[in-house]
Every structure is written in structure tokens, then in C-alpha cells.
């Protein structure tokens, strides 16, 4: 009797418990969706991982760019001073690659977010490719520069540039040569638009980081800055936990192309 009575009372309890767990999970999901849909000022930080599914190499994954080239040889002002032809060639090859890659579902999801969101969406990207533009985003800060631009070291003019650039290429504005360099922020140089980015981080109520390993500052420090202001929800979307994963309130791990369309729909709901 005792056993039976225990069983009869125990089974409904388990079911009730499961039901209430399900209800709680649904409630939490509902709350989360409601929360995401509430945000107005959104900053999305992106890194090489968002372009990986388009076929652009990342930097620090196995087979990444920094396994094949030394940063000191191709990505510092000293490298350019020492061997400008090698550095120009490195960026010419990467610029040419822009023609063979296409934006994918993560880029277009962010384009859709900017178009349909009732608020502000800014992409702050460490990427130098143009896949966000081609995915429909307009409000983009390229903090590490752009492959599709070169800059004159003599007159500071910046040009849209899709061809190769060499030490013989003459600056279209001032006529100097050699004068043009990739419009890329090298190690040891100051990223672009930091004042504007700092304001955006202060103002945002949702900060999403996509496809960045969290190894390179200042971008690696954005999440802790945002958290210190205490106003924004923070989400990491990355293939694996980044160096800074523990700073995020929420983490979603997997392919950006699979995760971002759903995340964007939650925000737009």
C-alpha cells in the first residue's frame, strides 16, 4: 500500500513538475523574445567569423590568415616601411578576393534588421571586407579600415579602390608616387571612429557581438564597457565561446549564418 500510494502520488508529481518546467521554459522564452523586441539602440560588433561562411579566412582559427603570414611582415607600419611591395601584394590579393565572395544569411539578416527595426542599428565591424554593405547594411563603421579603399600618405585623400595598388601607382589627387597605402588599420595604429563608437556603446540598450575571438583590443573591451554602463543586454553569437564569453549576459554558440536570422526575427517581433 505504501509503495502504491507513493507511486500514485509520485507520477502526477513528476508530470506536474515536467509541465511546470515546460511552462517555465516557455515563459522564459516568451520573456526573452519580449525583451529582445523592446530594444531601440542596437550595436552589432562583428569580426572575421561572420564572413567565414562566405569563404573569407578568419585570422586565428586553424588555417587562419595569421598561420600563413606573420603579422610583423604584413600588418604593421614597420612592415610597410621595410617591404612595401610585399604588403601591397598581400592586400592586393585580399582585395581581389572580394570579387569571389558573396554575403550570406547573417549579413542579409543584419541588413534586414537595419531596414525594419524601429530604432537605431549600427554595425561596428573589425572586418575589412564589404560583405555588410552588400548584405544591405548602410550604417557601418569599419573600425579596422576597408580593403576597397586606399589612402594617400602625402595628401591624406581616401579613394574607393578595387584594382591592385603598387608603389608605382600615382595618387589621383596630388600626383605623388609612391604614396598610396591600403586604407587598413595596422597593428600599432589607432582604429577609426573611436569617439563615435564609444558614444554608441554608451547609448545602446542591446549589444551583440558576432564572430570575433575577443583577442584584439579595443574591440575586445567593448562588452565590458557596455556592461559597466549598466544599460544594455549583451549577447555573444560565435562558433565557440570567445575569450570574453563570460562578460556576456547571453551566449549563443554555432554558425552565424544559422543563428543570426533567428536572433534578428526575435528583435523584430
Whose Cβ is closer to ligand APR: residue 3's or residue 100's?
100
Q: Which of 12, 59, 3, 22 is nearest to 214 (CA)?
A: 59
Mutual angle of helices 256-268 and 105-116, in 10-degree steps: 10
**Residue 263 lies near ligand APR (rule: CB under 6 A):** no
**Residue 61 lies near ligand APR (rule: CB under 6 A):** yes
Q: Which three cell numbers stand for residue 210?
A: 558576432
Least CB distance to ligand APR at residue 257 (A):
6
Least CB distance to ligand APR at residue 188 (A):
12
Residue 125's H or E segment, with its range, is: strand 120-125
- Report d(CA 170, CA 62) in Å as an integer: 38
**Residue 215 lies near ligand APR (rule: CB under 6 A):** yes
Least CB distance to ligand APR at residue 138 (A):
21
Contact 243, 220 (CB under 8 A): yes
Whose Cβ is closer to ligand APR: residue 98's or residue 239's?
239
Contact 124, 199 (CB under 8 A): no
- Report d(CA 209, CA 252) in Å as an integer: 10
- DSSP-derived 3-state class of residue 208: strand
Residue facing ligand APR at closest CB distance: 49
Mutual angle of helices 194-203 and 222-229, in 10-degree steps: 40
**Residue 48 lies near ligand APR (rule: CB under 6 A):** yes
Q: Looking only at residues 18 through 47 of this chain, which bind ligand APR when binding is defined by CB under 6 A?
A: 47
Q: 183 catalytic, yes or no? A: no
**Residue 103 lies near ligand APR (rule: CB under 6 A):** no
| Catalytic annotation, pick one of 144, 183, 233, 253 | 144
Whose Cβ is closer to ligand APR: residue 201's or residue 256's?
256
Binding site for ligand APR (CB under 6 A): 47-49, 52-53, 58-61, 64, 126, 144, 211-213, 215-216, 238-240, 242, 255-256
Amino acid at each position: 500500500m505504501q509503495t502504491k500510494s507513493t507511486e500514485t502520488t509520485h507520477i502526477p508529481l513528476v508530470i506536474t513538475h515536467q509541465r511546470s518546467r515546460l511552462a517555465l521554459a516557455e515563459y522564459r522564452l516568451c520573456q526573452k523574445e519580449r525583451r529582445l523586441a523592446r530594444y531601440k539602440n542596437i550595436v552589432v560588433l562583428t569580426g572575421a567569423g561572420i564572413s567565414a561562411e562566405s569563404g573569407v579566412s578568419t585570422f586565428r582559427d586553424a588555417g587562419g590568415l595569421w598561420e600563413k603570414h606573420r603579422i610583423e611582415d604584413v600588418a604593421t607600419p614597420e612592415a610597410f616601411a621595410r617591404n612595401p611591395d610585399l604588403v601591397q601584394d598581400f592586400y592586393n590579393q585580399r582585395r581581389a578576393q572580394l570579387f569571389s565572395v558573396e554575403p550570406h544569411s547573417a549579413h542579409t539578416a543584419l541588413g534586414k534588421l537595419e531596414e525594419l527595426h524601429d530604432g537605431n542599428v549600427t554595425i561596428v565591424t573589425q572586418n575589412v571586407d564589404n560583405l555588410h554593405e552588400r548584405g544591405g547594411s548602410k550604417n557601418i563603421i569599419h573600425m579596422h579600415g576597408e580593403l576597397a579603399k586606399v589612402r594617400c600618405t602625402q595628401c591624406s585623400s581616401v579613394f574607393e579602390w578595387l584594382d591592385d595598388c603598387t608603389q608605382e601607382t600615382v595618387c589621383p589627387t596630388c600626383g605623388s608616387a609612391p604614396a598610396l597605402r591600403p586604407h587598413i588599420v595596422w597593428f600599432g595604429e589607432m582604429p577609426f571612429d573611436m569617439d563615435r563608437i564609444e558614444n554608441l556603446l554608451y547609448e545602446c540598450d542591446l549589444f551583440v557581438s558576432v564572430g570575433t575571438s575577443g583577442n584584439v583590443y579595443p574591440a575586445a573591451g567593448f562588452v565590458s564597457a557596455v556592461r559597466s554602463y549598466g544599460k544594455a543586454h549583451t549577447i555573444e553569437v560565435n562558433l565557440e565561446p570567445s575569450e570574453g564569453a563570460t562578460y556576456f549576459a547571453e551566449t549563443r554558440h554555432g554558425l552565424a549564418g544559422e543563428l543570426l536570422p533567428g536572433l534578428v526575427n526575435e528583435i523584430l517581433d
